Amino acid sequence: MAIRAVLFDALFTLVAPRLPIYVQYSQTFEPYLGVLEPDLLKKSFKTALKQVQKEKPAYQSGAEGWWGEVIKRTAVGAGADPQAVDRSLDEIVPRLLHRFSSREGYKLYDDSIPTRASERAPRTAREMFLRACARLGVQPSEAVHVGDELPADYYGAEESGLDALLVRRPGTDGEGEAKEPDEDLSGVAVVSGLAQVVDWVHHKNAPSENGKPSRV
């Protein structure tokens, strides 16, 4: 079946942080919680994000509540005083959400603007893949999802009936992607940039000898 819609993950697929996320967290935390060790913040953020993704795969409490839990666990896990975190969370969360919803926090990859078709919030559950397709008026089999996280973006999309492409940019552009040291990419459709997504869709939709779209 021909591809009629392309869904993109945002973080490390379309956009990248202007500074590492843990550095931006550190800058925002400092007036309220003091200076936290960067390496601890980096590890704590990764742990907190995975925990909350597993416990709350969708934004059931709203984006602010969901990210508020990630932010709280990140700060406490990096050694911040839990009471100080609780006292200042109502100010820290809006500041970080504003920062990461604007140009202050993110920049577009060079290949994002000419490639982007439609996008969704990162790290969603199966229901949100299907909801995105419904909003676009396409069947899951008529959509492909592009993202950098193997379990959520790639296998999550496949399990929901979509085609999937995994982004693995070479060099420094790919440093922030959700890679695991021992990840097995055998059988995984990998692209090194968003221009390859356009090529993939064109090839997928190209008529074969029997006049139907090619199978890729």
Tokens describing residue 17: 């942080």
Rg over CA atoms, the chain: 19
Contact between 214 and 204 under an 8 Å Cβ cutoff? The reply is yes
Confidence of residue 118 (pLDDT cuts 50, 70, 90): very low
Mean pLDDT of 174-188: 87
Q: pLDDT, tens digit, for every residue of 24-50?
A: 999 999 999 999 998 999 999 989 988
Nearest Cα residue to 182 out of 145, 150, 146: 150
**Token match 């936290």: residue?**
36
The string of pLDDT tens digits covering residues 47-93 is 998 899 888 876 666 788 999 999 999 999 999 999 999 999 999 99
Question: What angle (nearest 5°) sits at the alpha carbon of residue 148, between those of residues 65 and 94?
Answer: 25
pLDDT band (50, 70, 90) for residue 7: confident
Distance CA 152, CA 52 (A): 13
Q: Which amino acid is at 105?
A: G
Give the total residue count for the chain.
Answer: 216
Pairwise CA distance, residues 24 & 15, whole Å = 15
Strand duo 15-17 + 106-108: pairing: antiparallel
Which amino acid type is present at position 11?
Answer: L
Amino acid symbol at 178: A
What's the token pair of residue 123?
């790290």
Measured CA to CA, the distance from residue 206 to residue 69 in angstroms comes to 46
Domains contained in the chain, CATH given: 5-14+108-205 (3.40.50.1000), 19-104 (1.10.150.720)
pLDDT for 208 equals 57
Distance of CA 208 to the CA centre of its chain: 34
DSSP H/E element including 145: strand 143-147
